[in-house]
Amino acid sequence: MGLTTLLSTVDLGWVALLSPEIASRMQFGWTISVHIIFASLSIGLAPFIIYFTWKDVRTNEKQYARLRSFWVKVFAAGFVMGTVTGIPMSFQFGTNFPQFAEVAGELIGGPLAFEAKMAFFLEAVFLGVLLYGRDRVTDRTYIISSVLVGFGAWLSGFWILIVNAWMQTPRGYEMVTRNGMEVAKLTDPVAAFLTPRMPWMYVHMMNASVISVALLVAGVSAYIVWKKPDAEAWNTALKLAVVLLIVSAPFQAVHGDAYGRHVADTQPQKFAAMEAHYETGQADLHLLAFPKSPDALTDPRAENLFTVSLPAVGSFLASGGDFDAEVIGLNEYEENPPVALVFWSFRFMVGLGFLFIGLALWGGYLMYRGRLSDSTRYLKAMIAASPLGYAALLTGWYVTEIGRQPWVIQDELRTSEAVSSTLTGTEATLTLFVFVVVYVGLILTALYVLKWLVREELQTLGVRESNEGRWRGPIPVVSDDD
Amino acid sequence: MTDQLIPVDSYLVESLPEIWFGAVLFALGMYVVLDGFDFGIGMLYATRTDEQERETFLSAFGPVWDANEVWLVAFGTMLLAAFPRVYSRLLADNYLLAIGFVLALVFRGLGPELREQRDEQRWKRYADYAFVGGSVVAPLLFGMLAGRWLFGGATLPVVLTGVGLVAVSVVTGAAFLAAKTEPGLASELRSYGIGATLAYLVGVVVLLGTVVLTDAGGAADTVLSLPVAAVVALSVVVGLGGSLLAKRGQYRVWLASALALPTLLTILVAILLYPTIYPPTGLLIREAVVSPLALNLVTVLGFPVLLLVLWYFKFLYGVFSGPIEGDGYGG
């Protein structure tokens, strides 16, 4: 008897509560949520790594060597976590959603293979050089290695988003029968790779990664500057991060607005879920929305919310200028995504986006006045904001992915049809549980690693820790006791 | 535009599906060979108690393991791109094995990374458990997965395939380390390597004998063919010859012969799978392969990149060639 048979015969009763579909969706959603944090960390850190490496090698200034060494360590830890969480994900297409893998294999297999061969190898090979090869390669090769690592990270996102964008707005294929199953056959590679969604998604995702990492770098720098105001390297890093935020945060809002219009055109159901718009017709835009009752939290129909709304602006945004434009409502569809999750995720993301713009402008003003490192209030705000980029990035993904339900390939394949037919609820629930436990451990570990790196840096800077005025916030504290 | 550049209704060359079968198994072979010695190092690591020696072991594969592991992703995605039915059935039919394997990889990958983050005994011990445990379980389950691919549900051949992969990983791990460390340590590793070689060779013979006797996966006839006999004979010669060279302290040649063992194992897998790419279902290469345009495209875009990747690897192993110095490779 094989392992699979053995375990599937164990009846654990309460474990079998989740259906294979739900458990698989939760498992994939959870895995990708953790993976995406580390993947976007690589993407967002890439420009910092390249810049610090280049400055270090060219100017020989100590501060850049320090910044390079610190952030390369973070990058490396993130990359390892990205690898170890990415491999299970690539397997889950087969283990949990084999019908999807088979139906879409011809369309998604190529880009995924290109990701591995063009991007993943590049990143892994040259990260080895970047981490261990300082004394073994020339300066030039060393700088080039950092560029190739960064390029690999961005290229990896490109191929992955080709796959995801195709799932949102599929093109370039026809359905044929192969081995007794309806599968997608590639007919036009250009159309299939460069789907309407691709450029939108790529720009939005890369910029989101840059914002998230800029906030993280700013937060860590702010913490160290707060502890050690004359730390030259960290003042430089803080300034750099804030400058990057000033460019990227407002851009994301402008871009996001246009992206929303594109979603309204190509996935009206998702757009309606984002706005909790049920009746077809003119749509308002809810600037602020709070539930009137607990019910409205899970079913946010517009009338069940306290809203500050701009009448007809939803129509205006969806159509790009027409206040009377008709927006299709959710009632037109037989099945809808979990509207509340999409609606609140979207609001959370947008709200944070505006907060980031505020932080960027505030930082810009302080920098203009030459007081960036002196404002304790700003430093504290940046420390508190350091994980928020990731919160926005994740909720953005929930809008994209949950908003597409019930489809896994928009209007072509339902998620319920994509799930493994041989998978049992027990197996799926059991592995979901294991993934949750292991990955929670992973996230905690990543946070500890960051904490230790920061503490080590402070010790190098000669900061003696005391409990006086210590930060009691989301970043683990620095102390002498462990 | 593409229509003129890439044929839509016919494969670039008539035998492209078979070429892709070869390419997929090539990626599998690269994974088994390269990550195999990483696993072997992980298992041999458990035999060391000296902190310095442990550090040396970790330094030996630190710069390369991540790149080695990418061959698994290359293998999986190439299988998906060319033979989606095989990819999806293989993983869906072996759900817990596959998930167990990737989780073992999680622990194997994290162990060394975490270990160096903190200078504390208990912390290091936990990191070491994760590293050693992952290094044993991952090849065992991956081998079992391969066994299920080849022989379907038959238990003994499946388990033996897993054990065989564990043994051959110890051989390559020992040889790799012996070639990179000082003579005293190397001669200790040598005895593990030779023991594992013998275990591996016996295991392969028992495995194939079992397959012939029970006709597991309907592979009895294939096993009794000349190509299989040749590969097995070659494995025995290479394995025993390598062991003799190891005894004489010729570690670099031993390494070459040790790496030949998992290569031959992959060739054996290829022979057993050809032309029925998924024996449990009787699915043939030509039936499982994607349509011409898709396969032509991944060929035209992917093969040049594959060559480039091989060049990166030559560069990477070049940068970190030679014996490990006292403090690893430096940072």
Q: Which of A2, A96, A128 sits opposite B63 (nearest CB)?
A: A128
- Reported as type and span, the H/E element at residue A297 is helix A294-298
Instruction: Specify the pLDDT at position A321.
Output: 76
Chain A residues in contact with B6 (beta carbon < 8 A): 189
**Averaged pLDDT, B280-286:** 89
pLDDT > 70 in chain B, percent? 97
The predicted complex's ipTM stands at 0.90
Q: Which of B2, B70, B90 sits opposite A124 (nearest CB)?
A: B70
Q: Which of B81, B93, B330 sits opposite A110 (nearest CB)?
A: B81
Q: Which of B106, B144, B302 sits opposite A84 (nearest CB)?
A: B106
Digit-coded pLDDT (tens) for B284-312: 999 999 999 999 999 999 999 999 999 99
- Please check whether residue A193 touches B, CB under 8 A: no
- A-to-B residue pairs, Cβ atoms closer than 8 angstroms: 249
Give the distance from residue A438's alpha carbon to the nearest chain B alpha carbon, in angstroms. 8
Phi-psi region of A464 (alpha: psi -120 to 50; beta: other; left: phi over 0): beta
Q: Is the pLDDT of residue A278 over 80?
A: yes
Instruction: Specify the pLDDT at position A47.
Output: 93
**Averaged pLDDT, B142-160:** 92
Give the distance from residue A287's alpha carbon to the nearest chain B alpha carbon, in angstroms. 43
**Averaged pLDDT, B179-185:** 85
Q: Is the pLDDT of residue A13 over 80?
A: no
Q: How far apart are CA A222 and CA A224, in angstroms?
A: 6
- Residue in B with minimal Cα distance to A421: B92
**Averaged pLDDT, B152-156:** 84
Give the distance from residue B193's alpha carbon to the nearest chain A alpha carbon, in angstroms. 27
On the 0-12 / 13-18 / 19+ scale of CB atoms within 10 A, A30 is middle
Kindly state the tokens that stand for A128. 């080895």
| Cβ pair A94:B91 closer than 8 A | yes
Digit-coded pLDDT (tens) for B82-140: 999 999 999 999 999 999 999 999 999 888 888 877 778 888 888 899 999 999 999 99
To test the contact with chain B by mutation, choose from A30, A71, A91, A423 the residue with the greatest count of B C-beta atoms within 10 A, namely A91
Who wins on pLDDT, A10 or A221? A221
- Least confident window among A279-283, A316-320, A436-440: A316-320
- Residue in B with minimal Cα distance to A431: B99
Which of A310-314, A323-327, A363-367, B312-316 is most confident?
Answer: A363-367
Cross-strand bridge partners of residue A281 = A327
Q: Is the pLDDT of residue A7 over 90?
A: no
- Please check whether residue A127 touches B, CB under 8 A: yes
Q: How confident is the model at residue B328 (pLDDT cuts 50, 70, 90)?
A: low
| Cβ pair A183:B77 closer than 8 A | no
Q: Does residue A408 sit in helix, strand or coil?
A: strand
- Please check whether residue A445 touches B, CB under 8 A: yes
Residues A387-391: contacts with CB within 8 Å, 24+ apart? A387/A215, A387/A216, A387/A219, A387/A474, A388/A215, A388/A352, A388/A355, A388/A356, A389/A208, A389/A211, A389/A212, A389/A213, A389/A214, A389/A215, A389/A216, A389/A352, A389/A356, A390/A37, A390/A40, A390/A212, A390/A216, A391/A348, A391/A352
Instruction: Specify the pLDDT at position A476.
Output: 46
To test the contact with chain A by mutation, choose from B35, B77, B309 the residue with the greatest count of A C-beta atoms within 10 A, namely B77
